[in-house]
């Protein structure tokens, strides 16, 4: 097939057009760069070098020279808010909103940022009013999430439930876990008011939202116990075994109080022994040890501790093992064992117990909502010893 040599003539033409276009883009970029103050580039450099204080000073200088630069206003407001200077962030975004020439898209952006400023500053009423203005638009869903955060902070669980249900529709994300916890919060409040009927109703709603919610099962037992029905309370708390055996340490004390109320202490202690046999864990052993030692015998408790320590050695278990040995030891060995036990107890007393799986926040108490990141059900119901992973 003959080669069409005339196509070769187009190559230098195409190359020339590309070269001219590139030259035009470079000239355009250079002209735009030349029009920007040097402070702008200094500010960017400070940001890249993680020097926000110097970046703020540089951008403030740019804003003074060119007040129309809305992007820099947004950057400044964000930097102020991250530094905790919420008053300055609020002023920046309010100044933007006061401009008559601000495009609608940027006005919406400035209003959302202002709501974030109010939320960060703890001005919850003003933040709520601001976010409620976003009925629709690109910031509507994010504003609803912020409103949900506000209602959680205020412990306005009715509003939180309504907003979570709304978010399920607008965002397409399930909030069943959170809604169940909100109902549990309302059940807890009703229980504190000694309103058993209201508490039971909220527990049912929690279970409807999330049948796997362990807290609702535990609360059902609390309601029965408060009503003077320990047998029904035991039935509720024993359901935790089928729902989540890992949560059993959280109901050990409750179960034993109910069994004691019925005069069936040994039965309750033997139930704990069966749990330890099926679901061995350091937490369950630590919570159950004293009851088993008191109502079944120190030898049985000692055997359980020794078996658990062989499976998973840890300081808390060692403390219990020494406690069991102290009970049967004779002088002078008893004094030596007591000294060792007291030293380990002192060491383990201040160890963090539970760790949030989302943010890593550590706490000695178990929380359904993390105090650090506000996530729900992010704590595993088991204690940790940080030193175990540091060797």
As annotated, the binding site includes 356, 359, 370, 373
Compute, in degrees rounded to 10, the torsion defined by CA atoms 301, 304, 310, 314: -60
DSSP state of 379: B
For residues 243 and 258, give the distance between their C-alpha atoms in angstroms, rounded to a whole number.
20
Q: Which is it for the CA torsion 218, 221, 226, 227, positive or negative?
A: positive
Q: Which of 321, 320, 278, 269 is nearest to 296 (CA)?
A: 269
Give me 176's structure tokens. Answer: 């069943």
Give me 30's structure tokens. Answer: 């250079």
Give me 75's structure tokens. Answer: 């950057």
Q: Which is it for the CA torsion 242, 244, 249, 253, positive or negative?
A: negative
Tell me the sheet residues that pair with 376: 369
**Annotated binding-site ranges for Fe cation:** 356, 359, 370, 373
Long-range contacts, 55-63 (Cβ 8 Å, 24+): 55/79, 56/80, 56/83, 61/37, 62/36, 62/37
Three-class SS state of 253: helix
Report the Cα 99 to chain-centroid distance in Å: 38
Give me 31's structure tokens. Answer: 């002209």
Asked if omega into 332 is within 30° of 0 (cis), the reply is yes
């Amino acid at each position: 097939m003959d080669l069409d040599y005339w196509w070769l003539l187009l190559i230098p033409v195409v190359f020339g057009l590309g070269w001219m276009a590139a030259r035009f883009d470079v000239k355009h970029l250079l002209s735009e760069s030349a029009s920007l103050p040097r402070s702008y580039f200094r500010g960017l450099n400070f940001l890249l070098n993680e020097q926000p204080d110097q970046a703020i000073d540089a951008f403030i200088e740019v804003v003074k020279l060119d007040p129309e630069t809305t992007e820099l206003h947004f950057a400044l407001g964000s930097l102020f808010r991250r530094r905790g200077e919420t008053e300055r962030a609020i002023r920046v975004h309010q100044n933007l909103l006061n401009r008559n020439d601000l495009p609608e898209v940027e006005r919406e952006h400035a209003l959302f940022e202002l709501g974030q400023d109010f939320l960060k500053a703890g001005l919850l009423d003003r933040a709520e009013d601001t976010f409620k203005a976003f009925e629709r638009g690109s910031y509507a869903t994010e504003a609803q999430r912020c409103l949900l955060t506000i209602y959680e902070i205020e412990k306005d669980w009715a509003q939180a439930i309504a907003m979570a249900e709304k978010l399920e529709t607008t965002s397409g994300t399930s909030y069943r876990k959170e809604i169940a916890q909100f109902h549990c919060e309302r059940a807890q409040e009703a229980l504190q008011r000694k309103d058993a009927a209201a508490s039971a109703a909220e527990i049912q709603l929690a279970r409807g939202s999330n049948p796997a919610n362990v807290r609702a099962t535990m609360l059902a037992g609390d309601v029965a116990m408060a009503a003077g029905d320990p047998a029904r309370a035991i039935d509720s708390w024993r359901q935790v075994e089928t729902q989540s055996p890992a949560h059993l340490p959280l109901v050990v004390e409750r179960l034993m109080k109910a069994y004691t109320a019925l005069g069936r202490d040994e039965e309750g202690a033997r139930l704990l022994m069966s749990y330890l046999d099926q679901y061995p864990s350091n937490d369950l052993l630590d919570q159950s040890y004293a009851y088993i030692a008191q109502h079944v015998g120190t030898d049985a408790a000692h055997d359980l501790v020794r078996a658990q320590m062989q499976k998973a050695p840890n300081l808390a278990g060692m403390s219990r093992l020494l406690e069991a040995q102290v009970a049967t030891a004779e002088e002078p060995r008893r004094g030596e064992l007591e000294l060792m036990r007291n030293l380990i107890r002192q060491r383990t007393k201040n160890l963090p117990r539970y760790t949030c799986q989302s943010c890593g926040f550590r706490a000695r108490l178990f929380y359904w909502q993390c105090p650090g990141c506000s996530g729900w059900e992010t704590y595993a119901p088991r204690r940790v010893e940080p030193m175990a992973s540091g060797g």
